[in-house]
Chain A
Amino acid sequence: MKKITIALFLILGMATQAQDQYSQKMGEAFGLWKQNKATESSQLFERIANAEPQKWLPMYYAAQINILTSFGIKDEEFLTEKLNKAQLFLDKAKEISPKNEELLVLQAFWYTVWIAYDGATYGPMYAGKVSKIYKNAYNIAPKNPRVVLAKAEWDMGSARYFNKDITPYCKDIEKAIELFDIFEQKTPFYPSWGKQRAEQVLNQCK
């Protein structure tokens, strides 16, 4: 009996150790990111993703870092490599967690990087896709503050371009800020970014 108890204890111990390792490494990766070590951070997320093939979050962050650091890159070859890599993580994450609005928002960002890089070429190709993705994400999770924010910001951009009234989108941003305040993380390390951005965007409304 004792033997069994100990064996159980050992197994449980191993499991919690693995769990802790996940938390510890995720924490470490976020730390690197905060220190502006984006490459190191994304590499660590990649390694965590490798160790935890059933979790979408490390893949989400590995993709996110590659996407966010792609804005502003002028070298098309480098940009392609980075975004292709991000897409690989996104694809894997989508396999694990289909119909995930957070991944959809990230996918929309992926297209937006291309549009920002060369609007004349990629605008006509991807603008429609981005709108479609935001619409999907909104249908899945109308109360997700990041979905509300990203969608509003995107719509606002095109409205502003054509000198249209942006007030309806400002209201959406305000709604997003309210949602940020009540949003509960479903799991540890669940995406929580966006409130600051929403406040910045709202300032442009005033």
Chain B
Amino acid sequence: MKTYILSILLGSSFLFTYGQTKISGRVVDEYQQAIPNANIYLKESYDGTATNEKGEFDFTTSKVAEQTLLVSYLGYETKTIVKDVAKMQHLKIQLKENINSLNAVVISAGTFSSGEKSKTTTLKPLDIVTTAGSLADPIAAFQTMPGTSTVADDGRLFVRGGRAEETQIFIDGIRVFTPYTASVNNAPTRGRYSPFLFKGMTFSTGGYSAEYGQALSGVLLMNTIDEPTNERTDISVMSLGVGVGNTQIWDKSSLTINTSYINLGPYISLYPDRNQWNKPYQSFAGESVYRRHFKKGLWKLYAAFDAASFDITQVDINNFDGMNFKTDAKNGYLNTSYKHKFNKRWSTFYGLSYTLAHTETFINSDKLENRQQAVHVKAKANYKLGSFMGLNFGAETFFQDISESYRETSQNQFDYGFDNSLSSVYGETQFQFSKNFATRTGLRLSYNNLTEKLYFARRLSLAYKVGKQGQLSLAVGNFHQNPAQEVLKFNGNVAPEESKQYIFNYQLNKNGKIFRAEAYYKKYSDLVKYNTDLPEFDSDFNNHGKGYAKGVDLFWRDNKGIKNLDYWFSYSFLDTRRDFRNYPSSLQPNFANKHNASVVTKYWMDAWKSQIGLTYRFASGRTYTDKNTTGFLNKKTKAYNSLNFNWAYLLSPQKIIFFSATNVLGTKNVNGYQYANTADEHGFFERQTIKPTADRFFFVGFFWTLSKKQTDNQLDQL
């Protein structure tokens, strides 16, 4: 018996100390180079070691039979080998480099994003508000990006020779139908949405994903914040009005509300402009986002309302008393979405938006009333297979109902409008073949109610990494969009317009410096033409219009080279011609300029706790029709120049004083010319210069944040 026990004891200790198997091998990378210091161990045991200089390792284990060997090294995917330990000798282990957001090539043709951490990020969220001249309007900030045209009297986004309507704006993936506020003729409009509620924005000047349709030129994607970090109250007192904002956070949900009241009256009385204001511009706007987190989902409800009104008399060459405009505009927008993540691979999204807009304008004594309702419903699913493959597909429907009535002094009233519904499905696959090569192919199929036909849009993007920091991207695709409201109001018998885009992009990212160069060619077909000055009841419409836009966009940004200085430079060359609307032939449209350049600088002065920003913008002249010579769009205005300045001073962590001035040099810019309808006795048409409403504009504001955390402030909203 004793010997038996002894033998067990001995046997077991033999097992513990002598039953050892040696595991050995070598660890290399994809190029057969040794990886020293790789960590190697058997799962759930202490047996393991690290590789030596030559990538070699060996260690012993008392484990037997099949085991899991793990090999890990920083920057590489952890490798798992399941094998009988007896066979784990002279292993040759090859590790694959991690594909991550920093080393992998990304599809970047056409895209500028303002995000938190992405490599394609060219603008940070804060940049939107600290860009001098933008006055906290994201739209204005994106106008300092290449690929946009400066149309100073309009204010909307004009992308690569396209009309403003060719660029669509989306909030959380859902379309915004009326993104711009009501504005006075000849004064730039603003985006309705304050940057405060958004965490990231992507601005694409072409070649965008098949997920987005009904845009011939560009898309601007804005995503609301998922989770605010602090409860806070923001109070702003500005030369133009007041604003109050509040954020409440509960266990699983949060609510942010932002309201503002703007009245131009006091400013105008101090600093009159070229208009005669009978009732100065005033607006009330409110926005709110409610978010609720579920175990695997996130529900968001975004609602915005604004009302604006003004009464103004503007000089008019054909009207001795001037033109009187009295506008009352109300706009409501509701957007709700739910994102659900089933597991690591599958996620889904459902969204819905509703727009209700009503605008009443008196033009002298004529009355124009416009009502608009629009709905966008969308569902999409996303499948991800590691970093290698992504599949994205979805379906959406748009409804739009617009009715307008025009009542002349003579009591003649005209009622017109249209209903529109459009449904699309799309699918897109993304492959990341290696960290050097990625592709995205998409297909979009739309059923159009105007023509009762199906339209196919194909999109392809490729990205290839050159060197450690550079990459080449290519995008081609075709895009469809229904004709503009102004046409559809009078005639539903037209077909969608089409653009084909070819984009070639090179991008270099190096230690806080970004260089981008992009060349593109865009071909338009099926553009709507008509035979009257403006679309009317009795115009003849057809889809025989065509055009092209080609050009080069350059962008350079450096925020590391000089301490505390951040600057960027963008330049766009655009060559575009169109034969559309009432054009007699292919001409450069009046919303396109050949050269556009912006220099934006921001300097942080630590000693003064101040950020000083300067933005300079240049745009070559735009075309106009000189009635005293023959031809159409036959002349060009002089170039546009503007130097803008802003200064944010941190009085204390939670109090900021902000000052901003546009066109500080007071350059006399010209937006165009208005000609008399009839010639004088010499057969000469008088004209008047269309000037900005004011050469300069000043803004002063005081922003105060109240929160438990003493360092929050509104710098990110200015």
Contacts and interface: CB of A to CB of B under 8 A. Distances in A.
B716 interface: yes
Interface stretch (B36-44, B212-220, B354-362): B36-44
Interface in B557-591: 559, 566
A124 interface: yes
B98 interface: yes
Interface stretch (A42-50, A96-104, A190-198): A42-50
Contacts of B44: 50-51, 53
A85 B74 contact: yes
Nearest to A82: B74
A194 to B, nearest CB: 23
A24 to B, nearest CB: 9
Contact of B43 (A50, A77, A124): A50
Interface in B575-619: 609
From DSSP, what is the main secondary structure of chain A's interface residues? helix
B711 A124 contact: no
A149 to B, nearest CB: 19
Contact of B72 (A46, A120, A159): A46
A124 B230 contact: no
Contact of B229 (A43, A132, A161, A164): A132
B559 A129 contact: no
Nearest to B711: A158
Contact of B41 (A17, A40, A50): A50
A116 B685 CA distance: 65
Interface string B68-90: 00101011000000000000000
B187 interface: no
Interface string A60-79: 00000000000000101110
B709 interface: yes
Contact of A47 (B37, B41, B74): B41
A206 B712 CA distance: 28
A149 B125 CA distance: 32
A118 B511 CA distance: 11
A15 to B, nearest CB: 13
Task: Tell which of A6, A21, A47, A85 has the most Cβ of chain B within 10 Å.
Answer: A47
A158 B710 contact: yes
B8 interface: yes
A25 B47 CA distance: 11
A10 B72 contact: no
Interface string B703-718: 0000001111001100
A186 interface: no
Given A120-B559, A132-B229, A48 B46 contact: yes
A17 B45 CA distance: 13
B406 to A, nearest CB: 48
Contact of B70 (A2, A50, A129): A50
B131 to A, nearest CB: 14
A132 B712 CA distance: 12
B653 A162 contact: yes
Interface string B40-60: 010111101010000000000
Interface string B1-34: 1000100110010001000000000000000000
B124 interface: yes
A43 B37 contact: yes
B628 interface: no
Nearest to B119: A76
Contact-residue bracket for chain A:
35 or more
B677 interface: no
Interface string B99-118: 01111000000000000110
B566 A120 contact: yes
A125 interface: yes
A136 interface: no
Contact of B5 (A3, A53, A164): A3
Contacts of B16: 17
Nearest to A22: B46
B639 interface: no
B652 interface: yes
B516 to A, nearest CB: 18
Contacts of A40: 37, 50
A131 interface: yes
Nearest to A18: B46
Given A50-B43, A162-B653, A124 B48 contact: no
Contacts of A124: 125-126, 715-716
Interface string A146-158: 0000000001001
A127 interface: yes
A159 B50 contact: no
A128 interface: yes
B650 interface: yes
Contacts of B70: 50
Given A21-B46, A47-B39, A53-B44, A80 B102 contact: yes
B8 A77 contact: no
B230 A128 contact: yes
B244 to A, nearest CB: 20
Contacts of B101: 80
A159 to B, nearest CB: 7
Interface of A: 2-3, 6, 10, 17, 21, 25, 39-40, 43, 46-48, 50-51, 53, 74, 76-78, 80-82, 84-85, 118, 120-121, 124-125, 127-129, 131-132, 155, 158-159, 161-162, 164
Given A77-B100, A80-B101, 10 more contacts: A6-B9, A50-B43, A50-B45, A80-B102, A124-B716, A125-B116, A128-B229, A131-B230, A158-B653, A162-B711
26 contacts: A2-B1, A2-B5, A6-B9, A25-B46, A39-B37, A40-B37, A43-B39, A43-B50, A46-B39, A47-B39, A50-B43, A50-B44, A51-B44, A53-B44, A76-B511, A77-B75, A77-B103, A78-B75, A85-B74, A118-B512, A120-B566, A124-B126, A128-B229, A128-B230, A132-B229, A164-B653
